[in-house]
Structure 1
Amino acid sequence: MFSPEAYALAEGLVSKAYINQGSQATARRSKLVTSLLSERRLPKDGWDDHSIESFLSEAAMMDSNNFLDNVGVGEREARVYSPLVARRHWNLAHGIGRSGDVAAEQPKAAGSSLLNKLTNLLVADAMRIAGLEDMGPALVLPLATGMTLTLVLLAVKSKRPKTATKVVWCRLDQKTCVKAVLSAGLELVVVSPKLVGDQLCTDLDAVRAAVEAAGPANVCCVVTSTSCFAPRAGDACSDVAKMCAELDVGHVVNNAYGVQATALCKEVTKAWRRGRVDAVVQSTDKNFMVPVGGAVVCSGKGNTEIVDAVRKSYPGRASISPVLDLLITLLSMGSHGWQRCLEDRGDVYGYMRTKLGECVGEFGERLLDTPGNPISIGVSLETHAKLSEDGKDVSFFGSMLFSRCVSGTRVVAPGKRQDVGGVVFDGFGASHDAYPVPYFTAAAALGTTREDVDRFCAQLRKCFKDFRKKAAKRGRAGDGDALDAAADRLAGVNLGGS
């Protein structure tokens, strides 16, 4: 807020030397903003909090509700009753976009519009750094992944023949995508993955057969996924993309938390370079460590029609909150900080595989062999299932971990049937009707540390020991000495294999 004239006048109150020193400091922060607006990419070094706060405060003063002489007489004037809420949102209360385009300029909110456009540019830069090359414009939406998928499917549907009402979905046992398809008024055609060793892989022949059986003109799109729970591997998106180009059907990629893994980004890049990819959806919270509530839609630079359609079909204005969270985080990281986060995650994944393999091998279990999944790790519970009646009580193992403050693990036992919106799945949770062994998963996701892994393994050892004790007390453990001997034999084999 200090103009050159204000600095000159200040010299009459404070020594000129001190005023010059102070003005140089503020000019240094101003250069950060000038550089950001000029380069329109992540700053190399992350900004300090005060610089970010100053930038947001200046931008907020460009919105009409913060004008000193504003007289608002409309039905939507960004009035906020609570000062606490106003401060939480930096007085940026007008939202972003207009009824015809969520990325359009908002006449009453020049500052908010500027921040929104910058966020789309910065997140696109971050995704390119992560490995998504030849990418078109990125669109940040204030919706989590599921609702964003629904909007994308509706956009694809609008570009397809009226008969195209089916979505061929490579099965991934998580309810969100199923609900997204059904919410878009489309019919789900489930294609199960094929089991190769421990790993569940894309069944390309089955995908093609499903499209041809329905008739390409009756298929809205094929939906593949990159990031997923082990033992499922990321889909062969590039092979599916070639197929979709050949058969002339749409292709949507659910890249929910795949931005953080270079291998998955390369597969998506390969897909839109060599075949058809209409849109790719990724979560902001999983990939950039912000609160839940945002997603990014993108595509290859050669096919941006669906991303444009999503932008124009969003009804009304949108909340700036998820956009603001992402902008603040990206400015705080800078490109160097973002690269460190990606590198650290890759390091922790390797560390987790090593430490987890050592830990579970002590108790006769093993890591599942899933080279196509660079984030999630599966661990067998076969030995411990034998301690419980018919193997059904092994799901209790997840509760034991949760009660010890271990969150995020998933225990999957065979035989579960689940109805999701009228679609019935056998073996739900495993992405397979009859996965051969019970297991649990853990993920080396962005932000996980080596210390987290060490603490997890310590709690895991306690759970294994307690589970065996509880089984023995229930009288279902059989001969404890014989069981220990069997576990020791399994441990020797499994440690060698992992």
Structure 2
Amino acid sequence: MEASHLEKCLNLVPQSYISQGQQFRASRSNLVRILLEKQKLPEESWNDELIEFLLSELAQLDSNNALGNCGAGEREGRVYSGLVARRNYRLVHGVGRSGDVTAVQPKAVGSSILNQLCTKLTLDFIRIVGARNAKSCIIVPMATGMTLLLCFLALRKRRRGAKFIIWPRIDQKSCFKSMMSSGFEPIIIENQSDGDELRTNVTEIMESIKRVGAENVVCIHSTTSCFAPRVPDRALGVHWQEIATICKTHNIPHIVNNAYGLQSSKCMHLLQQ
């Protein structure tokens, strides 16, 4: 409730009560102001009521929630089920435009603010957990396979003519499908047996580069989290520096599948190194 609305309530309740309510409202609004100003994760976590307050305020900025709006526009957010609308806090319009998911949508001001803010908060989190040099990030509603696919497609313009992805093998179908779906050809590097573990064959990676030519390699696709007995690629510690050094020496991009790695401070700090 805005301050001007509270002034109209003076004939309903005493001024002292209004002042008390204004203080409660100001403390909540101040937390929202700090979040929007700093665009970083708050030092103290928010309760559900405060989060829902912010989401409700942002939802009111979207055109589909305007009073008297019939929702007949070409790209208006329309929801038949009230249950679905409440489940999504009435943020139903969507974001992005013209194929750019990060672009601001003029009919969805609140959703666009939320999208940009979440991106800032996610980048802050990534830096907090170890990747202090991270410069940017993007939030997409996808899991590992489709996210990797986007990364590979992003390299297409940078690596024109290249068609091979060197991939130290892990037994996860989504990783393999992402390379195939992107239109590239994976060069599968079989692992080496080391006691009861399977480890990256760095020598075979180098041989594959020599065989097809560095200019024909889209990237080296390594992994930080695997199912036993496969251990993380030698992209960790001294061993990872081997892959990173190979990429730097031959000017080959290095895509690291760090699914679940954000939960590991070791993975994140080694990525930072």
Q: Output the TM-score relative to the length of structure 2.
A: 0.94
Q: CA deviation at 1:249?
A: 1.8
Q: Deviations over 1:130-155 (max 9, x none)?
A: 11121111110111111111111111
For residues 223-261 of structure 1, the C-alpha deviation after alignment (integer angstroms, 9 at most, x for no partner) is: 000111122222222321221121122211100100111
Measured against aligned partners, the alpha-carbon deviations of 1:129-183 in whole angstroms (never above 9, x if no partner) come to 1111211111101111111111111111221022x11111011111110000011
Structure 2 residue aligned with 1:205: 203
Cα separation, 2, equivalents of 1:7 and 1:74: 35
Which residue of 2 is the match for residue 135 of structure 1?
A: 134
What is the aligned partner in structure 1 of residue 21 from structure 2?
22
Amino acid at match of 1:187: E
Distance 1:74 1:7 in 2: 35
> Which one of the candidate residues 213, 219, 234 is aligned to 1:215?
213
SS at match of 1:46: coil
Check the 8 A contact 1:161/1:217 in 2, yes or no.
no
Asked whether the 8 Å contact 2:71–2:78 carries over to 1, the reply is: no
**Is residue 2:257 matched to residue 1:258?**
no
Secondary structure of the structure 2 residue equivalent to 1:140: coil
Counterpart in 2 of 1:275?
none
Match of 1:468 in 2: none
Amino acid at match of 1:108: K
Q: CA-to-partner distance for each residue in 1:465-495, whole Å, 9 max, x for gaps?
A: xxxxxxxxxxxxxxxxxxxxxxxxxxxxxxx
> Are 1:240 and 2:243 an aligned pair?
yes
Matching residue of 2:120: 121
Give the corresponding residue for 1:96.
95
SS of 2:25's partner is: helix
How far residue 72 of structure 1 moved from its aligned partner, in angstroms, is 4.2
How far did 1:70 drift? 3.5
Kindly report structure 1 stretches of 4+ aligned residues shifted beyond 4 Å. Answer: none
Q: Could you tell me which runs of 5 or more consecutive residues in structure 2 were left unpaired when the two chains were aligned.
A: 236-240
- Tell me, yes or no, if the aligned pair for 1:241 and 1:251 is still in contact at 8 Å: yes
Structure 2 residue matching 1:27: 3-state secondary structure? helix
Over the aligned positions, Cα root-mean-square deviation in angstroms equals 1.3
Deviations 1:210-230 (A, max 9, x none): 111111121111100011112
Q: Distance in 2 between matches of 1:108 and 1:193?
A: 52
- What amino acid maps onto 2:256 in structure 1? V
Residue 12 of structure 2 corresponds to 13
Who is 2:3 aligned against?
4
Report the 3-state secondary structure (helix = DSSP H, G, I; strand = E; otherwise coil) of the residue aligned with 1:152. Answer: helix
One-letter amino acid of the structure 2 residue matched with residue 152 of structure 1: C
**Counterpart residue type for residue 138 of structure 1:** C
Structure-2 residue corresponding to 1:167: 165
Give the aligned partner of residue 379 of structure 1.
none
Question: Residue 262 of structure 2 aligns to a residue in which SS?
Answer: coil
Matched residue, 1:38: 37
Shift of 1:69: 4.4
Cα distance, 1:19 vs structure 2: 1.6
Shift of 1:71: 5.4
SS at match of 2:226: coil
CA–CA separation in structure 1 for the residues paired with 2:82 and 2:69: 18
How many residue pairs get matched?
268
The one-letter code sitting in structure 2 at the alignment partner of 1:106 is Q
Matched, 1:230 2:228: yes
Counterpart amino acid of residue 95 in structure 2: I
Residue matched to 1:344? none
- The aligned amino acid for 1:178 is F
Partner of 1:249: 252
Residue 81 of structure 1 is matched in structure 2 by 80
Q: Return 5+ residue gaps in structure 1 as ranges.
A: 271-498
Deviation string, structure 1 residues 48-85 (Cα, Å, up to 9, x no partner): 11111110000000001111243544222111111111
Verify: 1:67 aligned to 2:105, yes or no.
no
